Amino acid sequence: MTKEVFTHRVREEALRLGFDGCGFSKAGRLEDEERRLEEWLNQGMHGDMKWMENHFDKRVDPTKLVPGAKSVVSVICSYHQPDFFSEHAENPDQPKISKYAMGDDYHFVMKEKLYQLFEFTKELNGGLEGRVFVDSAPVMDKAWAMRAGLGWIGKHSNLLSRDAGSWFFIGEMIIDAEFTYDHPVTDHCGTCTRCIDACPTDAITEPYVVDGSKCISYFTIELRDEIPQEYHEKLGNWIFGCDICQDVCPWNRKARPGSEERLFARPELKDKTIDYWEELNLQEYRELFRKNPVKRPKFEGFKRNIRTIAPNLKKSDQDPC
C-alpha cells in the first residue's frame, strides 16, 4: 500500500467515525511555537496555570513525549448547534456556561473515536506504536492542527476553519507511521479585529496574543483564589468559561452544524436562572455535571463564580432602562 492510499484510508475512516476533519503532519520540534511559548510564559500570561511550565521539551517536541514518533494525525470534531448558539449568545439575562461545556465531556467522546481510529490505523499498517491525546498531555494541539491544514490560528488564538469556524475540539494520534503530509492554510482573519474589540477584560493584548491571566475562562475555570474585584462586572453573566471572542467572529456565522449529538447542549443545562444556580447544592452539582467539563473548578469554584456574577444580573433586573 502506498503512503498516499494509506493516508486516504485513514482520513476516510476518521470522517466515517464522525470527525469533521483529519490532517497529517510530520512529527518534530515546533521551533517557532517554542520561542513564542517561552516568551508568553516569561511574561506571566499563564497566571496561576503553573502546569503550563512543566514538561516544556515534551510540549514543543512530540518525539520527546512519544519516543519513535514520526507523525501527528490531527482531528477536529464540531459541537456547533446554530439555533441554540444564536439564542445562547443573545440572552443577557441568564447565567452562561460556555457552549463547549453544555454537553458530555469532550475528553470521553473524542477519545472513544480516536481509539477506534488508532486501532483501524494499526490494523491497516500491520502494527504501529503511539498514543492518542485530547487536551490531556503537554501537546500543542492547535499548532499541530494548523500544520495539518485544518485551519489557521485566529487573532483570538483559537484555531479557525473556513467550514467549521472555531466551534470544535481538537485531538491527535502521535504515532510511528508515516503519511503523505498536509500543508498549513492561509490566514483569513484579514483586517478584522472584532474579537479584540469585544473582549471585556482586554485579554487579547494584540492580534494572536492572549493574556491568559486576564481571560474570563481563566477566572471561572482555572483560578483557585477569589476573582479580583476589578473584574467582577466585566465577567457579565459568565459562570463557566466565555465565548465572547468566538460569538463575534464572522467565520462562526458561516460554520456548518456539528453531527456528534453527545457534544450538544443537554436540556437540563438550558435556561437556568441565577436563583437556580445560587440554590444548587453539592449533590445536585455532582449529578448535573457528571461526565461534564464543569467539574474542573470543583463545586467551591463554581459557587464562587455564581456569587461573583450574581450582582451583575440582579443589577440588570433592577435597571429601569
| Catalytic residue positions, numbered | 135
Q: Is 281 exposed, middle or buried (0-12, 13-18, 19+ CB in 10 A)?
A: exposed
Pairing mode, if any, of strands 238-240 and 209-210? unpaired
CB 160 within 8 Å of CB 154: yes
Give the three cell numbers for residue 310: 450574581
Give the C-alpha distances (Å, rounded to integers) separating 154 from 24, 31, 44.
20, 19, 21
Nearest to 1 by CA among 126, 175, 183, 182: 126
Q: Is 133 exposed, middle or buried (0-12, 13-18, 19+ CB in 10 A)?
A: buried
Other residues' Cβ atoms within 10 Å of the Cβ of residue 255: 23
Q: Is 157 exposed, middle or buried (0-12, 13-18, 19+ CB in 10 A)?
A: middle
Residue with cell 494509506: 6
Residues forming beta bridges with residue 28, ordered by sequence position:
none
Nearest to 25 by CA among 160, 124, 170, 127: 170
